[in-house]
C-alpha cells in the first residue's frame, strides 16, 4: 500500500502518429514514483537520479506501444493483465505477434523481471497446452529475433518451439520461401532444425520445463552517463546503454 502513495510522475508513451492501430497513439500516465521504482530499475533511475526527466517530472517512451504499456500498468496494480480476445495481437492468426511476447520485450526494456516472468508463463502455457495451442509464424520468430538478445529466454523458447513443431502445419505457419528467408539470418534456429534431422523421434523435443525460461530477480541498472542532464538511454535487447 505504501508504494501507491506519494508523488507521481508523468509517463508519455507513443507518438502522435502510429503505424499501428489508433489505439497505439500517444497516451500519458501519471503513476506513483514508489510503485514504478519498486518494479523497474529503468524507471527508478529516471525518477530518482538527477536527470532531465526527474527535474521535469516527465518520462517519454516514444518507441513503445501504449496498448502494451497499459498492460504493464494493469499488472503493476493487480499482478495480472487481461487481453481483449478480439485484439489483433492476441488471436491465433499468422500475421500477428503475441501481445505476451510484446509484454516480455517491454519488461526487458524496463528491467522488470517479474513482469517478464509473468508474460513468459502466459506464453509457455499458450504454446505448450495440448488443446488449441497457439501456433508460431515467421512474424513471431522475426519479432523475437529483432527485439531480444540471442541468449534471451524469449528467443530460447521460440527457437525450441519452432524446431520441435516445425513439421506440424497446425503449430508452425508460413511458406517454405518465408522460412527460407528467415533462416538465412538465424543460425541458432537453423542449426537446431538440422540437429533434429539426426535425432530419434524421442529426442526431438527441444522445449524444456517452464522454470527454465524464467529469470531470477530484477536486472541491475547498467551504468548511464551521469554527466548528462537527461536520461536519454538507448535501449538494446537485454541491455541499457548510455
What does the CA dihedral 14, 122, 190, 151 come to, rounded to 10 degrees? 70
In this predicted model, which residue has the larger pLDDT, 218 or 52?
52
- What are 240's strand-pairing partners? 235
Confidence band for 21, pLDDT divided at 50, 70 and 90: low
Q: ∠ CA 217-122-129 to the nearest 5 degrees?
A: 130
The conformation of residue 17, written as its DSSP 8-state character, comes to S
Mean residue pLDDT across the chain: 84
| Cβ neighbours for 204, distance < 8 A, ≥ 6 positions apart | 164, 196
pLDDT at 44: 94
d(CA 54, CA 41): 14
82-140: pLDDT as tens digits: 986 444 444 444 457 999 999 999 999 999 999 999 999 999 999 999 888 999 999 99
pTM of the shown model: 0.83
What DSSP character marks residue 126? H
Which residues lie below 8 Å from residue 230, measured CB to CB, with a gap of 6+?
51, 52, 53
Q: At what angle do helices 153-165 and 187-197 cross, to 10 degrees?
A: 40
Domains, the chain, ordered by start: 2-241 (3.30.710.10)
pLDDT value, residue 17: 61
Amino acid at each position: 500500500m505504501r508504494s501507491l502513495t506519494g508523488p507521481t510522475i508523468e509517463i508519455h508513451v507513443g507518438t502522435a502518429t502510429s503505424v499501428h492501430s489508433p489505439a497505439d497513439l500517444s497516451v500519458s500516465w501519471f503513476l506513483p514514483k514508489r510503485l514504478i521504482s519498486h518494479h523497474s530499475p529503468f524507471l527508478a533511475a529516471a525518477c530518482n537520479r538527477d536527470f532531465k526527466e526527474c527535474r521535469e517530472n516527465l518520462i517519454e517512451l516514444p518507441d513503445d506501444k501504449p496498448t502494451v504499456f497499459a498492460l504493464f500498468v494493469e499488472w503493476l496494480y493487480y499482478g495480472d493483465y487481461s487481453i481483449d480476445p478480439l485484439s489483433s495481437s492476441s488471436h491465433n492468426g499468422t500475421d500477428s505477434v503475441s501481445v505476451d511476447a510484446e509484454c516480455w520485450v517491454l519488461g526487458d526494456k524496463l528491467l522488470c523481471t517479474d513482469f517478464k516472468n509473468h508474460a513468459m508463463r502466459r506464453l509457455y502455457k499458450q504454446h505448450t497446452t495440448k488443446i488449441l495451442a497457439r501456433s508460431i509464424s515467421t512474424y513471431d520468430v522475426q519479432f523475437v529475433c529483432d527485439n531480444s538478445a540471442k541468449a534471451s529466454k524469449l528467443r530460447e523458447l521460440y527457437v525450441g518451439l519452432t524446431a520441435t513443431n516445425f513439421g506440424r502445419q497446425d503449430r508452425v505457419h508460413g511458406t517454405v520461401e518465408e522460412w527460407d528467408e528467415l533462416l538465412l539470418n538465424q543460425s541458432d534456429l537453423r542449426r537446431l532444425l538440422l540437429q533434429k534431422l539426426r535425432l530419434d523421434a524421442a529426442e526431438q523435443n527441444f522445449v524444456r520445463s517452464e522454470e527454465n525460461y524464467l529469470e531470477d530477480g530484477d536486472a541491475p541498472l547498467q551504468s548511464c552517463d551521469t554527466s548528462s542532464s537527461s536520461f536519454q538511454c538507448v535501449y538494446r535487447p537485454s541491455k541499457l546503454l548510455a
